[in-house]
Amino acid sequence: MLIKSLLIFILTYIIISAQKMKWHRLDRPSAALLGAVLMVICGVLTLDEAYRAIDFNTILLLLGMMLVIAYLKIANCFKYLSYLLITHAKNSFLLLCFVSFSSGILSALFVNDTICLMFTPLLILALNQTKLNPIPFLIALATSSNIGSVVTLTGNPQNMLIGVFSKIPYVDFTLHLLPIGLLSLVANVFIISLLFRRDISFKKMDAIALIKPELDIKLTTKSLVVLFFIFLGFIFTGNLPLSAITGGLALIILSGTKPQHVMEKVDWTLLLFFSGLFIVVGG
């Protein structure tokens, strides 16, 4: 049984890691699901044991935060914020700083993938206008969002797992990681500026003209108020999953937006990926 489970585990992680190989077309969630099903079919786990292997606290925490993020996406909050930051940059160094620190800070509050996806389209449009080399700014966006996401228990799915299993208080975790996160963001800007010194300067840029995204102020306000109470729940109750899913449900009830429209923006494949991995690891 040990050999079976080990072989399935290795096969699953090979498929997850080898995404660009021609010998298979499975994405990561499908690979995790395949591994989970094989664990049951091969008799490593019973179906009941497979269900018990899934940590629903982590799934609920992810789902709750995804719901809040979905409402902020619908309200155009992220696009509007990125528009404000990009259009107010007077030179390429300032643009680099805006991109780095805004993506880092926002990734500490939300799942970092979301920030990259929301910022990238407007950033590329702006860079095409200014004729700047996009590489340093896109590297800054990717690296800074990863750095920022480390600071809190809700910055990325890995930290959520740590939070659920370790029961580390939200504030304690943040206070210990915040200095490292801030220093890393500063170092990141410095290193990118040094490596791409021909592209990053204090020379004044032409004004960037982008179409201003329409912000749904009402929905943004509701979402941010709910988010505030979610973080209060994180801090004072220590129950991350319950705080997040309660906030998500509150927005479904109060937002006035069709739930179906919101559910379409939830990353169900990520939830499937984690569920499958829990079963594979459980096996």
> How is the chain split among helix, strand and coil, in percent rounded to 5?
75, 0, 25
Looking at the domain assignment, is residue 35 inside a domain? yes
Number of compact structural domains in the chain: 1
Looking at the domain assignment, is residue 15 inside a domain? yes
CA–CA distances in Å: residue 103 to residues 3, 81, 91, 213, 246: 44, 11, 18, 18, 26
Considering the entire predicted model, what is its pTM? 0.83
pLDDT digits (tens, 9 = 90+) for 240-283: 899 999 999 999 998 888 888 888 888 888 889 889 889 988 87
Residue 208 or 65, more confident? 65
pLDDT at 174: 92
Question: Which residue carries 């108020």 as its tokens?
Answer: 225
Retrieve residue 120's tokens: 């990238």
Looking at the domain assignment, is residue 8 inside a domain? yes
Looking at the domain assignment, is residue 119 inside a domain? no
**Cα(252)–Cα(122) distance, rounded to whole angstroms?**
28
pLDDT at 64: 92
CA–CA distances in Å: residue 144 to residues 102, 182, 192, 260, 274: 9, 10, 11, 33, 24
Q: Look over the chain and give the mean of its residue pLDDT values, rounded to a whole number.
A: 86
**Cα(185)–Cα(190) distance, rounded to whole angstroms?**
9
Pick from 5-19, 111-125, 168-182 the range whose average pLDDT is largest: 168-182
pLDDT digits (tens, 9 = 90+) for 200-244: 877 776 666 677 888 889 999 999 999 999 999 998 988 889 999
Looking at the domain assignment, is residue 126 inside a domain? no
Looking at the domain assignment, is residue 32 inside a domain? yes
In the predicted structure, residue 36 carries a pLDDT above the cut 70: yes
Quick check: helix, strand or coil at residue 204? strand
| DSSP string over 85-152 | HHHT--BHHHHHHHHHHHHHHHHHHS-HHHHHHHHHHHHHHHHHHHT--HHHHHHHHHHHHHHHHTSS
pLDDT digits (tens, 9 = 90+) for 164-173: 888 889 999 9
**Phi, psi (rounded to 5 degrees) for 204:** -65, 135
**Cα(252)–Cα(32) distance, rounded to whole angstroms?**
30
pLDDT at 151: 92
Q: Which domain holds residue 28?
A: 2-55+278-282
Looking at the domain assignment, is residue 40 inside a domain? yes
Looking at the domain assignment, is residue 74 inside a domain? no
